[in-house]
Structure 1
C-alpha cells in the first residue's frame, strides 16, 4: 500500500510531518516531537431489512461510487452517534423506513478507491414504521425477493446478505414445512416437500429392522397375544413391505384408493386368520411406536430443526395411521361372519 501524508504540520507542536517506519509500517510522524498520527478505516453502517414475504429492501444509488446500482441502505457513521444509530439513520434517510436493530450480521473491510479503507458494519433491522421512498441520495427504494436479487454494488453487501440467509435458513425451513403440513392434512393435495421426508426415507431404509423390533414387541405385549400367534414370517414380510413404501404413501405418490385398499385387504386377512379387531388396532399403535423409536435413533436432537423434523414426522405418521386403522376396520366389516370385539 502506498502511504502519502495527509497533513504537513503536527497538530501538537507545529513541527513538520514526515513518513517514517513505526511499529512495522510506514506512518505519519512528527519530526520534532515524535507524535505518531494513525490513519484508521472509516466506519460505515449498513442495514438489512427483509419483509414478511422474504424480500430485501434495496436502494438505487444516485451518486458515485457505483451510481445507478442497487445496494443496502448504507453510509458513514457521524460524530456523536453509535454505529447502530448510524445504520438506523441511513435506513431512514435513504429509504424512508424506521426500524429497530435486531442484531449484528457482519463486519467487513473494504478498500475503496473513492474513500480509502472502510470498515463496514451491517445490522439486521426490523421495520417498525415509515414509508418506503428514496431519499435525496437515492434514485429508488424497492423490495426484491431474496432469491432474485439484482447484482449488488458492494461485495460487503453480498457477504452480509449471505450471512442473513444462513442465520434464518433453519427458521424458514421449519416455517415452510409447517405451512405445507397445516394445509395438506386432509384439506388439499400435498404440495412440496416436508422436513420430515428425510426421516421417512430413513424409516424406509431400515424397514426390516423396524419390522423385526415391532414383531418382538407384539409377541410380548398383553394386548396382541392372538396377533403374536399368527405366522411370524407373514407378519414380518407384510410389515416390512408396508414400511418400505411408507414415504410413497405419505407423500401421496401412491393413489389414495390403492393405499385404502391395501389396508382394507390387510384387515380382511387378519379377520380371516382369527385376529380380533382390537388386537389389529393395538398392533398398528405398536407399529407407530416402532417407527418413532427407529426415527429417533437416526440422529441427535441438537438443533431445533432436528427436533421439529422428528415431531413433524410423528404427526404425519399419526394422521396416516388413523386412516389406516379406519380401513383395517372396514376390512374386518367386509368379512362375512367375522365377529369383532372391542
Structure 2
C-alpha cells in the first residue's frame, strides 16, 4: 500500500507539522481562545495526532479514537473554548496534514524504482487513498470530540 509510506513520512515529520499547526492556532482569528490551553498540553495533543495517524487509520476499530477525542472535547470545554473554535482547530489539523501530503507525497515516492509512466498514476492513487483515509479519520475524531464537549457541558449544567 503506497499510502503506508506516506503515513510513515507524516509520522517522521510530526514535529514540523506540529510547529506549523501551533503557529496557525496562535495567529488564526478562528482559534483566538486556544491560548487558554497550556502550551505543552496542546503541543503534545497535536504531535500525538500525527504520530498515531498510522495506528488510527490502520485500525478500523473506533474505540481508541473515541476515547482520545472525547477526552480532548471534555478538556476544551473545561478550558472555556467555544465549540466552533474546537471544530476549526481539528479542521486546521486536517488542512495542514493534507497540505503536507500534497506537497511531499510525490517527491518522496519519485525515488522508487519504477518507470516514469508508472510513477504518476500509482502515486496519485496512493495520495488519493491516503486523503480518503485521513478524511474518514478526522470525521470520526470530530464527532467524538464534539460528543466529549457536549458530555462535559451537560455534566457542568447538572452540577449547578
Superposed pair shares fold, TM > 0.5? yes
- Which structure has more relative contact order (CA 8 Å, sep 6+)? It is 2
Distance 1:305 1:225 in 2: 41
Q: Give the corresponding residue for 2:84.
A: 278
Which structure would you say has the larger Rg? 1
Correspondence 1:1-342 to 2 at 5 A: 194-252=1-59, 255-298=61-104, 299-300=106-107, 303-335=120-152, 336-337=155-156
TM-aligned CA deviation for residue 229 of structure 1: 4.1
1:139-178 per-residue CA deviation (whole Å, 9 max, x = no partner) reads: xxxxxxxxxxxxxxxxxxxxxxxxxxxxxxxxxxxxxxxx
| Contiguous gaps of at least 5 residues in structure 1 | 1-193
Contact 1:288 1:321 in 2 (8 A): yes
Query: Does the C-alpha gap of structure 1 residues 247 and 221 become closer, same or farther in structure 2, counting only changes over 3 Å?
Result: same
Q: SS at 2:37's partner residue? A: coil
TM-aligned CA deviation for residue 269 of structure 1: 0.8
Distance 2:96 2:135 in 1: 12
TM-aligned CA deviation for residue 337 of structure 1: 2.8
| Contiguous gaps of at least 5 residues in structure 2 | 111-118
Contact 1:215 1:228 in 2 (8 A): no
Contact 2:70 2:146 in 1 (8 A): yes
Distance 1:311 1:227 in 2: 31
- Point out the structure with the larger strand share: 1
RMSD of aligned Cα (Å) = 1.8
1:268-324 per-residue CA deviation (whole Å, 9 max, x = no partner) reads: 011111111111110000000111122223243861222221122111101110110
Query: Does the C-alpha gap of structure 1 residues 311 and 227 become closer, same or farther in structure 2, counting only changes over 3 Å?
Result: same
Q: SS at 1:314's partner residue? A: helix
Q: SS at 1:275's partner residue? A: coil
Contact 1:196 1:309 in 2 (8 A): yes
Distance 1:237 1:327 in 2: 19
Distance 1:295 1:232 in 2: 26
1:160-212 per-residue CA deviation (whole Å, 9 max, x = no partner) reads: xxxxxxxxxxxxxxxxxxxxxxxxxxxxxxxxxx4312111111111111111
The TM-score, its normalising length taken from structure 2, stands at: 0.82
1:121-154 per-residue CA deviation (whole Å, 9 max, x = no partner) reads: xxxxxxxxxxxxxxxxxxxxxxxxxxxxxxxxxx
- Point out the structure with the larger helix share: 2
Aligned length: 144
